[in-house]
Amino acid sequence: MASAYIDTYYSRTVATSETYPAATGRTQTDVCIVGGGLAGLTAGLKLARSGRKVVLLEAQRVAWGASGRNGGFVSAGYATGLSSIERRVGRDQAKELYRLSMEGVEIVRRTIDELDLQDAKLVPGIAKALRYDSRGALQAACETQQREFGLNLRYLPRDEVRRLFVSPKYHEAILDEGAFHFHPLNYGRALAREAASLGSAIHENSPVISVDLEGARKIIRTRDAEIAAEHVVFTTGGYTGAVLPALKRAFLPIATYVLLTEHAPELVRSAIRTRAAILDDRRAGDYYRLVEDGSRILWGGRITTRTTDPRDIAALLRREMVTTYPQLAGLKVEIAWSGLMAYARHLMPQIGQWKPGAWYCTAFGGHGMNTTAIGGMVIAEGITGESDRYRLFAPFGLAWNGGILGRTAAQLTYWSYQAADAAKEFRSR
Ligand SMILES: Cc1cc2nc3c(=O)[nH]c(=O)nc-3n(C[C@H](O)[C@H](O)[C@H](O)COP(=O)(O)OP(=O)(O)OC[C@H]3O[C@@H](n4cnc5c(N)ncnc54)[C@H](O)[C@@H]3O)c2cc1C
């Protein structure tokens, strides 16, 4: 039976109903993409636009994974900060990588524009808020980022941030007016539609079960199909299975959660008075935004190495929401869901080629909406020979995730972040 999208705000508001047939038979192609999230779809569309014959194999539905169920925040940067990237690759390359992350935001914006995607529901503005007083450090960071990268940022002092987000928790914020939030499932599906209209073969319900990467032609098999391709690109994200052990070992799947509240415009307005989205600076902080003309809140937060769903995701997240906004104590949750992200140890995307013609493009962590765009783009450019920008990511290879020990270490690190964040917040009271 054909698989369906899980129940989320996005699947409930999906704009179109097209489906794609499962792969069958023997096919030859220029490029086979395994995984139909935004990394695979962006690469597929760029390759189709460059005249390449593309076959994309998705185990479930297009953008069924993290790409179609996330917070919808699109902003510059990576899952780790500029200073830690700088420590690994030096100042110049770190800045180049950061500019590339800004380009990722523009790729998404431009694609929405070119395809006239009203259903992507783009809304500008993301505020990054502090739950403690930085004593001038945030404003200084804002000015440095504006100067170095030309980002469209505005510093919001305490009065202003609390006027927009009526919570005693927030002390100050930076509003990024160049960032935006959107409907990632409608966006992903539009990429698939466009690639298909250019002749790409998109296949849903087509899990890849084995691959042979040794010859000049890579062989990719699903239950009912065998594809021979000059290039194969693995973009299976946090849902990567055992098909490629080297890839599965390279990162950890990390779960995170989102809820959608009931329709209650007045109550929602008592807490949030802007259409800009907000995220707080804690390492595993909350991120949320208004949807449906400001009548509902879509709230995300928490990360865990436990990949099965806890009993009550809604209650977990609701607690966070009500501690931030006590006035929302009566606001009901309509649905809540989870998704898996892929995190490498260095917290940077893993983008490259491990043997000629076999590419990987994954581990975007919790910052994938701009970075999958650049990942897909630079891999496609590498395949067509247009650029070798994918090499910028070479210092962040397929490092081993540490197996079970890595999982425990990741969870402990998260808890220690939580403790440090709470202490900082407490000192600012
Ligand atoms: C709840 C949540 C909230 C988030 N919020 C944000 C946010 O607001 N902003 C942001 O920038 N990032 C956010 N992220 C992170 C972002 O969603 C991810 O980094 C990004 O979507 C990863 O895209 P991907 O294409 O690598 O993987 P995915 O979108 O997960 O796609 C991988 C696909 O590969 C398929 N697949 C797996 N194995 C096979 C196989 N053997 N054969 C065929 N197909 C296969 C899967 O079915 C899946 O569809 C969030 C993530 C989650 C889970």
pLDDT in tens, 362-383: 999 999 999 999 999 999 999 9
pLDDT in tens, 234-263: 999 999 998 988 888 888 899 999 999 999
Q: What pLDDT was estimated at residue 251?
A: 87
Rounded average pLDDT over 214-221? 96
Q: What pLDDT was estimated at residue 3?
A: 81
What atom in ligand 1 is closest to the CA of residue 368? 19
For ligand 1, pick from 369, 378, 379 the residue to mutate: most ligand atoms within 8 Å of CB: 369
Q: Which residues pair with 128 in a beta bridge?
A: 174, 279
In the predicted model, is pLDDT for residue 60 greater than 90? yes
What atom in ligand 1 is closest to the CA of residue 57? 43
Residues with CB under 6 A from ligand 1: 34-40, 57-60, 64-67, 69-73, 207-208, 235-241, 243, 256, 258, 287, 300, 339-341, 362, 364-369, 372
| Token reading at 365 | 């962590």
Query: CA–CA separation, 413 vs 411, rounded Å?
Result: 5
What atom in ligand 1 is closest to the CA of residue 236? 34
Residue with tokens 């436990």: 306
For ligand 1, pick from 6, 8, 58, 189 the residue to mutate: most ligand atoms within 8 Å of CB: 58
**E-state strands within 271-407:** 277-280, 287-291, 296-304, 333-343, 350-355, 358-362
Q: What pLDDT was estimated at residue 211?
A: 97
Query: CA–CA separation, 160 vs 24, rounded Å?
Result: 58
pLDDT in tens, 2-14: 689 999 999 999 9
What atom in ligand 1 is closest to the CA of residue 287? 8
Q: How confident is residue 311, by pLDDT bands cut at 50, 70 and 90?
A: confident
Sorted by sequence, the CB contacts under 8 Å of residue 213 that are 6+ apart come out as: 232, 355, 357, 358
| Token reading at 74 | 């699109």
Give, to the nearest 10 degrees, the angle between helix 184-197 and helix 38-49.
30
Domains of the chain and any CATH numbers: 9-69+185-251+346-398 (3.50.50.60), 123-180+253-343 (3.30.9.10)
Q: What pLDDT was estimated at residue 119?
A: 98
For ligand 1, pick from 5, 9, 70 the residue to mutate: most ligand atoms within 8 Å of CB: 70
- Which residue's CA lies nearest to atom 10 of ligand 1? 367
Q: What pLDDT was estimated at residue 262?
A: 98
pLDDT in tens, 167-200: 999 999 999 999 999 999 999 999 999 999 999 9
Q: Which residues pair with 298 in a beta bridge?
A: 260, 289
Rounded average pLDDT over 136-158? 95
Q: What pLDDT was estimated at residue 183?
A: 98
| Token reading at 276 | 């800009």
Per the CB < 8 A criterion, the answer to whether 333 and 318 are in contact is: yes
pLDDT in tens, 318-366: 999 999 999 999 999 999 999 999 999 889 999 999 899 999 999 999 9
Q: How confident is residue 284, by pLDDT bands cut at 50, 70 and 90?
A: confident
Model pTM greater than 0.85? yes
Query: CA–CA separation, 169 vs 421, rounded Å?
Result: 13
The angle formed by the CA atoms of residues 347, 351 and 355, to the nearest 5 degrees, is: 135
**E-state strands within 44-168:** 54-57, 73-74, 123-130, 153-156
- Which residue's CA lies nearest to atom 49 of ligand 1? 65
Q: Which of 203, 57, 188 shows the shortest CA–CA distance to 119?
A: 188
Q: Which of 98, 187, 137, 172 shows the shortest CA–CA distance to 371?
A: 98
Look over the chain and give the mean of its residue pLDDT values, rounded to a whole number: 92
> Around Cβ 46, how many Cβ atoms within 10 Å?
25
pLDDT in tens, 34-59: 999 999 999 999 999 999 999 999 99
Cα end-to-end distance, the chain, whole Å: 55
